[in-house]
Structure 1
Amino acid sequence: MDFDANIAELQSRLRQHREILETEEAAKTTLVLPFLRALGFDVFNPAEVKPEFTCDVGTRKGEKVDYALCVGGEVTVLVECKSASSDLSIKHASQLFRYFAATNARVSLLTNGVTYKFFTDSDKANMMDEAPFFTFNLDDYRKSDIRNLAAFQKSEFDVDRIVAQAGTLKLQSQVLAELKKEFAEPSEEFVRVIAARLHDGMLTKPVRDKYQAAITQAIGALIRQGIDERLQNAMKRNDEPEPSDEPAPDGNSIETTQVEIDGFNIIRAICAKVVTPDRIVIRDAKSYCAVLLDDNNRRTIARMHFNSPTARYLGVFTGKDEERRPVSGPVDIYQHADALLARINELESGS
């Protein structure tokens, strides 16, 4: 199973068992250790994942962090865990601060199994930053989050690259925070920049107030317009299913992911019970990935709506009607084998 699918499966586990994850140990065994395993660390090898890692710091003896991750025999990442119900704050990271300075680790991780906060020393060498440079929310993440998280895989782990990237991510988050403030309440400096481009004459207080109100309204309108366009595109796709089976003309904006390939192989294996496998073809589109019989977009067997890692669906068909069924990943497709086989029989009978 690929990295994306492992994380998606872990998300499904979180949502299934969230209500009973009451203790720190429950968060560790149910979420944190599988998360580290998804990153490629052998959680059963104490030379690679050191539990209850001890490092005496000054007069403090016998203090421990939950795990130390080793790459190339060196302690590289320190991990401190809390219960899944804990709201993570900097006060939970006191041991990480002390251990960070006393070991060769350049990265530390504070987590409750749901949220994973990654820290480094981008502000001052050998001193852990007070703010994380990257936060991954297992319950709500985007494809860009998965790409950033992939850098922490053992096979990809390069501490110098991670620390360098940390500075970029931290700067991006700071810029985003400032933009959010400007969008919510444009500052006088921002108003002056815009007004200077549009207004001739003195920038009096009444003029500034007018532009500030106009900028706030314009930003709100832009956001609403973007949301409206997405909704309209989504409704258009639902209303006109057949034409949207065709791939984009340029062919460059479509990426067939490993998760979609895995799903296609499962669908083909199921349908191979009644038709030869070479008749079952994958055809990717912008919003979903179609599986067709005889490479005919009017003979759709199923659609994989896997573009969102947080809400995946398998589209099964009866006639021209599509029913979207939630799945956590490709393996769940096996649960819908009867619907897929019924669709093949329907297409073969010409109904």
Structure 2
Amino acid sequence: MELQNQLKALAEKINKLKDKIETEESTKHAFVLPFINILGYDTFNPTEVVPEFTADLGLKKGEKVDYAIFQNDIPILIVECKNWKESLDNHNSQLFRYFHATKTRFALLTNGILYRFYTDLEQPNKMDERPFLEFDITKVKDSDIHEITKFHKSNFDVDKIVNNASALKYTKEIRKCISDELISSTHDFVKLFAYRVYSGRLTEKVMEEFTELVQKAFNQTVSEKVNDRLNAALNKESEKQQLDAIEVKEEEESKIVTTEEELEGYRIVVAILRRKLPIERIVYRDTQSYFGILLDDNNRKPLCRLHLNGGTKYIGLIDENKNETREHIQTVDDIYQFEEQLLSTVDFYINQGL
């Protein structure tokens, strides 16, 4: 969580400052060095983070990479930086030479916003042309953070990262292929599905027809999968809310203790109201705030409320607008003094046809 918060803070800083950053050097200090710090490496320790690291190759001398991160006197990651405004696409070859000249297994090409991590999956000590990990720090995803964490000083393990790099790299490339097919299906992709479902000869006309069908079916399938996931998530959340509501209700109900005094008050109210109502229509419902007596067990039809658990006792009388007026009582026997008002409340409901 701490790493996630630090990356988020750096992303906010980048969005705020980038328009004021003009040079590559400023990009390094404002964006890249803070990222290296987040990974746990001390940028002020020249034995841990070496700026302008020499990476001479053969007769070509004076080649320097912007930063090299060391662990146990061995370079574990070289970092080549560009101005945040620059595209990274044209700088792989430069980093390729640096990689070959060092003992590191990992290289990072960045402009402070885009980060591309490389290793040597295809040939030992020869940097792959394509990165195995790539992200935009201003739009970093949870899956990216999971991979970035592996480069933290406290977690760094060459073998674990390399073993996972292959899956990351090829998964990324497969996803790109799928994305491209969603936009514009290739001939081979269409042929793969047409061959399975069409028994006739795959003429040019048939292929044209299947190009549209395959792309349509592919997009519909993806959309349905997304909708299924969303609906499942919504249903799960709804179930959780219902369970939470039940737990809250059960917790509240567990705190309610119906006293004998409240039951005695209820019996007195029933004795008064039974002149106009069948007993079964007069129902009590105890709450934490008061002891309610209802018509037909309906919260919208209060007959009266008893407030007996505090230091001062009250009976709550209900008028025709269902507003409550509290009257002080010494004991539940005082309820008999409000017989007329209680019967008037019943009349309100009777007049309304209830």
TM-score, scaled to structure 1: 0.62
Distance 1:81 1:200 in 2: 55
Q: Deviations over 1:123-179 (max 9, x none)?
A: 211111222111121122211111111111111111122222222222112212322
Number of the residue aligned with 2:163:
164
Number of the residue aligned with 1:176:
175
Distance 2:12 2:239 in 1: 29
Distance 1:141 1:108 in 2: 19
**Percentage of identical aligned residues:** 38
Q: Determine whether 1:77 maps to 2:77.
A: yes
Matches within 5 A, 1:74-153: 74-89=74-89, 91-153=90-152
Q: Deviations over 1:245-286 (max 9, x none)?
A: 94697xxxxxxxxxxxxxxxxxxxxxxxxxxxxxxxxx9xxx
| 1:195 positional shift | 3.0
| 1:7 positional shift | 0.6
| 1:203 positional shift | 3.8
Distance 1:160 1:117 in 2: 19
Distance 2:187 2:63 in 1: 50
Alpha-carbon RMSD across the aligned residues, in angstroms, is 3.0
Provide closer, same or farther for how the CA distance between residues 54 and 190 of structure 1 changes in structure 2, counting only shifts above 3 A.
Answer: closer
Provide closer, same or farther for how the CA distance between residues 245 and 232 of structure 1 changes in structure 2, counting only shifts above 3 A.
Answer: closer
Q: Deviations over 1:94-122 (max 9, x none)?
A: 44322222221111111111011111111
Number of the residue aligned with 1:194:
193
Distance 1:32 1:138 in 2: 11
Provide closer, same or farther for how the CA distance between residues 233 and 48 of structure 1 changes in structure 2, counting only shifts above 3 A.
Answer: same
Q: Deviations over 1:310-336 (max 9, x none)?
A: xxxxxxxxxxxxxxxxxxxxxxxxxxx
Distance 2:92 2:195 in 1: 47
Distance 2:122 2:199 in 1: 44
Distance 1:113 1:158 in 2: 24
Kept in 2: contact 1:106–1:121 (CA 8 A): yes
Matches within 5 A, 1:238-249: 246=240
| 1:74 positional shift | 0.9
Partner SS, residue 128 of structure 2: coil
Partner SS, residue 124 of structure 1: coil
Distance 1:67 1:94 in 2: 17
Distance 1:69 1:13 in 2: 24
Gapped regions of structure 1 (runs ≥ 5): 238-242, 250-282, 284-291, 297-351
Provide closer, same or farther for how the CA distance between residues 212 and 2 of structure 1 changes in structure 2, counting only shifts above 3 A.
Answer: same
Provide closer, same or farther for how the CA distance between residues 214 and 45 of structure 1 changes in structure 2, counting only shifts above 3 A.
Answer: same
Number of the residue aligned with 1:60:
60
Matches within 5 A, 1:242-257: 246=240
| 1:224 positional shift | 5.1
Name the aligned partner's letter for residue 68 of structure 1: A
Distance 2:18 2:194 in 1: 51
| 1:225 positional shift | 5.2
| 1:230 positional shift | 8.4
**Aligned pair count?**
246
Gapped regions of structure 2 (runs ≥ 5): 253-354
Kept in 2: contact 1:68–1:79 (CA 8 A): yes
Number of the residue aligned with 2:51:
51
Kept in 2: contact 1:136–1:149 (CA 8 A): no
Provide closer, same or farther for how the CA distance between residues 55 and 195 of structure 1 changes in structure 2, counting only shifts above 3 A.
Answer: closer
Partner SS, residue 154 of structure 2: helix
Partner SS, residue 155 of structure 1: coil
4+ residue runs over 6 A deviation = 226-234
